[in-house]
Amino acid sequence: MGTTAYANEWSANVAQGLGGAYERMLAVAVAVLHERDPGRLWPLVAGALPGLIGAEVLIYKLDDWSESGGTIGLSPGAELEFDGLGDEATGLLRAGYPFAEHYGASPDRAPVTARRAAGRSWSASPTARLLDDIMDVDHALGIPLPESGAPITGCIVYRSGRDFTDEEVVVAGRLQPLLAGIEQQRQLLQRVVVPSGDDVGLTPRESTVLLLLGDSLTAAAMGRRLGISERTVHKHVANVYRKLGTHDRLGTVLRAQRLGLVPAPASRG
């Protein structure tokens, strides 16, 4: 096959992939527009986006990609692999290597693979080894929100086997505006659909658990910190979710920050 014919075939495959992925992601965006709970928007994205670009797992982060703080959200079914992680391993995931450094050094927000962002150092990095151990994945693709400045926000998708193709990177780039629109919708809902802080009714222990949720501690780590069983921690977490009207860790922390129940990232020490 000649170079021109190959290029034409590649372009046709990209167009077909773009059309199918964009159509399916648009359906997710329509569902988001009908969702009134801001805490459910990114879990919807996390459930749909990996399959559109051949990924297996997604991590999203809507605040600073730093090792010392911030919250992370996971695609459905990935919580079990992450639940037993210690503070050091959780910090590696929060740091978002190598994408935080890559996007922090340039205004370019185009999706990029970990191998292109970090070169050969990606495979030998502690983050790559951790991901291989807990999820058996060895390739990553960063998809930041297109207008994010500081902090860099967005998501990372992972998979095993071969690296992400040029076509899949192009598809990810075409999906960025939809992701930005979904995030704008989430922020809007947070401003207009939040309960009064006086009506939350958290117990002192539930308030403490909520603070630890904001520090991205696992249930086991919270139990050790508080001197209670992991099962009791899960009960407290379930009560916090119910009282705040949320469904996952990230949505809960973001709602609590909006209500002033926990410090916002900028005000943490």
Dmax (CA) for the chain in angstroms is 70
The residue type of 143 is I
Q: What is the CA radius of gyration of the chain?
A: 19
pLDDT of residue 19: 60
Higher-confidence residue of 173 and 194: namely 173
User: In this structure, are residues 49 and 58 in contact, taking their beta carbons and an 8 Å threshold?
Assistant: yes
pLDDT of residue 7: 40
- Segment among 26-35, 134-143, 148-157 with least mean pLDDT: 26-35
Report whether pLDDT(115) > 90.
yes
User: In this structure, are residues 220 and 263 in contact, taking their beta carbons and an 8 Å threshold?
Assistant: no
By three-state DSSP, how is residue 155 classified?
strand
Report whether pLDDT(188) > 90.
no
Buried b / exposed e along 176-202 (16+ C-beta atoms within 10 A): bebbbebbebbeebbeeeeeeeeebeb
Report the DSSP beta bridge partners of residue 156: 59, 142
**What's the pTM value of the predicted model, to 2 decimals?**
0.69
Q: How far apart are CA 245 and CA 140, in angstroms?
A: 32
Average pLDDT, the chain: 82
- Sign of the torsion angle spanned by Cα atoms 70, 246, 244, 194: positive
- Segment among 2-16, 57-71, 100-114, 204-218 with least mean pLDDT: 2-16
Phi and psi based region of residue 137 (left: phi greater than 0; alpha: psi -120 to 50; beta: remaining): beta
pLDDT of residue 267: 45
